[in-house]
Structure 1
Amino acid sequence: MFKYPKVNYIGNKEKIAQWICDQFPKDAETLFDAFSGGCSLSYEAKCRGLEVYTNDILEINYHIANALIKNNKSLLTKEDIDIIFSGKPFEGFMFDNYSEVYFFPEECKELDLYRKNIEKLDSEEKKSLAFSLIRRAMVRKMPYSRFNLNWDKIVQLRDEEYSYEKYKRRRAYHNQSFKFHFLKNLDDYNNAVFNNNKENNAYNDDVFNLLDTVSADIIYLDPPYTGTMNNYFGFYGLVDDFITSKKTKPFENNFINKKIAVELFDNLFSKLSNFKYWYLSYNNSSYPSKDELLYLLNKYSDNVQVIERKHVYKITGKEKKETNKEYLFIVKNELPQKNIKKNYATAEL
């Protein structure tokens, strides 16, 4: 059995992906993971032989999907690694914009070199693997594994003596090089690539732009949980900046604002006629509530059920663990599905 590699993604469903996929109907052959994030659910579905289409509005999440879901065989070789890490670090986009913002100046120059070199790789799948591994390295060097701390706090938490005095852990991995972390995780990412003999695909778009053009037996919805730690652009948008060499902007339809969350969900549910089965993940600490979501879903189907289980969330950098109920809403769409041809086109970046 192939193994999903370490991705470090807040809200990742890695621990409950098997439980979710166990609920899928036996007659389902295709899955659209509309908010794919770190791709743990898509990866489990791919392992089970489903044809999987992923989507995420963050570009780095598209690359994770392109590397692990769409990609069937491309691996990073020794020659590729030599290309990525050859040459002299230089002052480029990351140095100009993020020195002493998230990383030290020399580290930013290294990132500028690696970004330039990744473009020399001979396939899009290899580039996506490289971006995914650089992301993993960037996250490992960042306290709390997210890019929303100020520089003074980052410097403080990367001080191993301070970390030991405060938390009884030195966290030396924050000060290992990008190359160290890249190489440490290389085999796990390469070994995670496999062919399930399906035409899997990856998209990088606002989900509302795809609901009329992508069809599948199942749509799995795992949007940001409104009212919780759900600012994914704030957590990981820096990696998109690294990839695009420009400062990206927060996206709309982000499920962060409580004032429009119900409207967004209602609009989303109203556009799912391409899918026979709908699966929605949510929890009891989020807004809207379970009853409010059931009310919205019942507007579009008379066949709605919700199952739940306890799920432990570990917030990186804190000792406290919060136990919540994880909900899985399951809808059978009784309306006729649109006869729309599946779109296998490569996502445009």
Structure 2
Amino acid sequence: MEKQEVRDCLDRGMFDEALRVVPLKDIPQFRIIGSKYNILPDIYRILEKENIEAYSFFDVFSGSAVVGRFFKKMFSVISNDNLYFSYILQRALIVINKCPSFSNLNFDNIPKDPKERVYRILHYLNNLKGVEGFIYRHYTPASKDADGVERKYFTTENGMKIDAIRIQIQEWFENGYISEDEYFYLLASLLLAVQKIANTSGTYGAFNKFWDARSYKPLTLRYIEIIPSKFNHVAYNEDIFDLLEKVTCDIAYIDPPYNSRQYITNYHLLETIAKYDNPKIKGKTGIREYGDQERSVFCSKKGVQDAFFKLVKGLKAKYIVISYNSEGLLSKNQIIQILDEGGLRDIRFYEIPYRRFKSNNNSRKNIVGEYLFIGVKENGEL
């Protein structure tokens, strides 16, 4: 099946069982650097072409969880990311296999049908009265009084709504009214809602000087479709080098940061909403303080090559699949050398062209490539 045919089938939600993957319409798009949403059909097509048969799929750097969600009907997915907001998305979009029941939340006339119950609970949260909490005080124009710096990440109304909803979800969880799965489901709905009304250009490293039209839309939590799967899935929130000894898999999919932009700085505000831990913040952008352990060595030109080799060498997998941007810190030849020295054989290389994020013209300069490397680890039989 050709690439466009695969895309058309996925977009229409057709031939789901034949393709064995989740249709793109059921995968929430999340504004994040390096998202693989637009090339998921290409990755699937290449795995099929290589005749890779496997049971378990380790998504080493999960990010927005789109890859793990896409493959959750095809494999038992193990996902990981050291950012907590990513862990929340993993728990909701990958791990959960059936609609949360919210059986311990008792509202008047709440429906018995699980899906209708979720709609009712989201409606309740969407209509909470705003609270002048941490997000309101530090990431809306109210920050001028609190910090002496006017920040325009959210309107005052949306900032107060974020606080009210985040506080209510936490209270329900701490009081035992919602389970872990229900907790992460609601938090994921909040994060997905936040990125639709944030006054940013795509990351949270800075806010827009002027208000974007989407910023005025009211924050609205929406229903997240639950994708059933015959497989069990697990999510981790760890540094990958602390996880290598814990995970054995058939396929290890590596999609690391590819340039010098640290995710912890570019998505600090999502991390703060996810944790809601009232961190110390600083500067014009209100960035949360973080330590060296939260910096990714894969964003360091000096350290990325050694880190890549250490990762490839340490993974307990039969197949290694690597996604990497053609404009990344490492070249194609450097990656192939790492794979070869890391004990991989039968290395295959593909290049998937795609348009730059947010490009508004048709210049060839805006076409970049996504490299895809596939290899078999020596003595990789499980």
After TM superposition, the score normalised by the length of structure 2 is: 0.75
1:115 is aligned, of 159, 166, 174, to 166
Q: Partner amino acid for 2:163?
A: D
Q: Deviations over 1:78-101 (max 9, x none)?
A: 332144235422222212332332
> Where do 4+ consecutive residues of structure 1 move more than 6 Å?
none
Alignment-derived partner of residue 283 in structure 1: 325
Corresponding position of 1:93:
134
Secondary structure, in 3 states, of the residue corresponding to 1:199? coil
Instruction: Describe the shift of the 1:7–1:71 C-alpha distance in structure 2 as closer, same or farther (beyond 3 A).
Output: same
Work out the percentage of aligned pairs sharing the same amino acid.
25
Which of 333, 336, 361 lines up with 1:294 in the alignment? 336
In structure 1, the residue matched to 2:203 is: 146
- Please give the alpha-carbon distance, in whole angstroms, between the structure 1 residues aligned to 2:354 and 2:53: 31
Cα distance in 1 between the residues matched to 2:360 and 2:203: 13
Write the letter of the residue equivalent to 1:135: L
Tell which has more relative contact order, 1 or 2 (C-alpha 8 A, sep 6+). 1
Match of 1:215 in 2: 248
Matched, 1:256 2:299: yes
Q: What secondary structure is seen at the aligned counterpart in 2 of 1:276?
A: strand
Against the structure 1 CA distance between its residues 256 and 300, is the aligned structure 2 distance closer, same or farther, given a 3 Å change threshold? closer
Letter of the 1:223 partner, please give it.
P
The CA distance in 2 between the partners of 1:8 and 1:126, in whole Å, is 23
Once the two structures are overlaid, the 10-residue window that deviates more, 293-302 or 108-117, is 293-302
2:379 pairs with 1:335:
yes
**Partner deviation per Cα, 1:63-112 (whole Å, 9 max, x = no partner):** 11111110001256133214423542222221233233222333322211
Q: In the aligned structure 2, how far is the partner of 1:65 from the partner of 1:240?
A: 14
SS at match of 2:303: helix
Number of matched pairs: 310
- Tell me whether 62-71 or 250-259 shows the greater mean CA deviation: 250-259
Equivalent AA in structure 1 for residue 300 of structure 2: N
Query: In the aligned structure 2, how far is the partner of 1:23 from the partner of 1:312?
Result: 16
TM-fit CA distance, 1:123: 2.5
Matches within 5 A, 1:48-59: 49-59=74-84
Q: What displacement does 1:310 show?
A: 3.5
List alignment gaps of at least 5 residues for structure 1: 159-171, 340-349
Distance 2:166 2:359 in 1: 29
Q: Which deviations, in whole Å up to 9, do the C-alpha atoms of 1:284-313 show, x marking residues without a partner?
A: 211211111111111122514232233223
1:29 is matched with 55
* Counterpart code for 1:72: N
Aligned in 2, Cα 1:315/1:30: closer, same or farther, shift over 3 Å? same
In structure 2, what is the equivalent of residue 233 of structure 1? Answer: 264
- Whole-angstrom CA distance in 2 between matches of 1:69 and 1:178: 24
- Determine helix, strand or coil for the equivalent of 1:298: helix
Name the aligned partner's letter for residue 296 of structure 2: N
Q: Is 2:31–2:203's contact at 8 Å kept on the other side of the alignment?
A: no
1:177 and 2:203 are equivalent in the alignment: no
SS in 1 for 2:214: helix
